[in-house]
Amino acid sequence: MDRKTSMRTQADLSMLVVAFIWGAAFVVVKNALADIGPFLFLGIRFTLAWLVLAALSYRDMLTIKLSTIKAGWLLGFFLFIGYAFQTLGLKYTTSSNAGFITGVSVVLVPVIYALLNRRMPPARTVLVVFLAAVGLFLLSVPWGSFGLSYGDFLVLIGAFGFALHIVYVDIHSHQHNAIAITGIQVLFVGLVCLGLGLLLEPVPVRLTYNAAFALIFTAVFATALAFLAQNYLQQFSNPTDFAIVLASEPVFAALAGYLWAGERLSDQALAGAGLILAAMLLAIVLKKRV
C-alpha cells in the first residue's frame, strides 16, 4: 500500500469515528433535554464549541474578513434551522428515528441543486427521492395512520436546513478560510440559540450530570473537534468517500439508541430505515451525475 492510499484509508477511518460520535450524540442529547431546554442547550453547546475552535485555531480566526462574516451568517442560519428543529424534534421522537430522518438531507441536496438551476431533476434523482420518501413513511408513520409524528416532522424540517447548508457550503466555502467561516457559523448558532433560550426557556438552577455531559460531549467532540477533523482530513480523501463514510451516522444513532436507551425499531421501521440508508448511499454515489 503506497503512502497516498494509506493516508486516504486513515482519513476515512478517522471520519468513521466522527460519524460514530455524531450518531451517539443523538441519544446523548435526547437524555439531556429532560433537564434543559433545547435552545439553551444549543446556545451553550455552540458557544463552547466556538471557544474551543478559537483556542485551537486562533490564527485562522484572525483572518476573518467582512465577506467571510456575511457568508458565515448565511451558512449559520441554515445550520441553525437544522440543529434547532432536529433538537426540538428529539424531545418528541426517538434518537433512532431522528438519525435516519436527518440522513434524508443527503437525498434532498440534488433536488435543491436542480431547483436552484431551474431544471427538472434527472430520473435518477427522482428514484432516490422516491426511495427516501417511502422509507420515511415506513419509519415514521404508524400502521393505519397517514401522517408523520410531530417529532419526526420537526426533524424533517431540520433535514431541509442541513440540506440547504450543504448546498451553500459548496457554493461559498471555497472562497474563504475554512476554519474562519466554520467559526462564524458555529458562533452564529450559539448566539441566536442562547438568546432564544434566555427569552423562552427557564434557566436551570444547576446542570444535571446528563446535561453537563451532553454539553461537553457535543461541544468539544461532536462540534469543535469534529469540524476541525473534517476540514483537516478532507485533503487526504475526497468528498464522495467521506459522504459514504458519514452515511453510517444514522446506523450509529440507532445502535446507540438500542444500547443506551433501549430503543427498538419495528419490522416496518427497520424496512423504512433501510430504504433511507439505501437512498442516501445512492444519492452520494450518483452525486456527480445528478
pLDDT number for residue 186? 94
Which structural domain range is residue 158 located in? 3-285
Alpha carbons within 13 angstroms on the beta-carbon side of residue 83 total: 28
Residue 98 lies in a domain: yes
- Alpha-carbon distance values, 19 to 70, 125, 152, 274 (Å): 29, 25, 21, 18
CA 205/CA 219 separation, integer angstroms: 21
pLDDT number for residue 290? 42
Residue 274 lies in a domain: yes
Cα dihedral 227→166→96→259 (10° resolution): -20
pLDDT number for residue 110? 83
pLDDT number for residue 80? 97
147's grid cell? 401522517
pLDDT number for residue 146? 58
pLDDT (tens digit per residue) in 257-272: 988 888 888 888 999 9
- Residue 13 — very low, low, confident or very high, per pLDDT cuts 50/70/90? confident
Residue 229 lies in a domain: yes
pLDDT number for residue 144? 57
Residue 290 lies in a domain: no
pLDDT (tens digit per residue) in 159-201: 999 999 988 887 876 788 778 888 899 999 999 999 999 999 9
pLDDT number for residue 235? 66
For 118: left if phi > 0, alpha if psi spans -120 to 50, otherwise beta; the answer is left
Q: How many domains does the chain have?
A: 1
Alpha carbons within 13 angstroms on the beta-carbon side of residue 112 total: 19
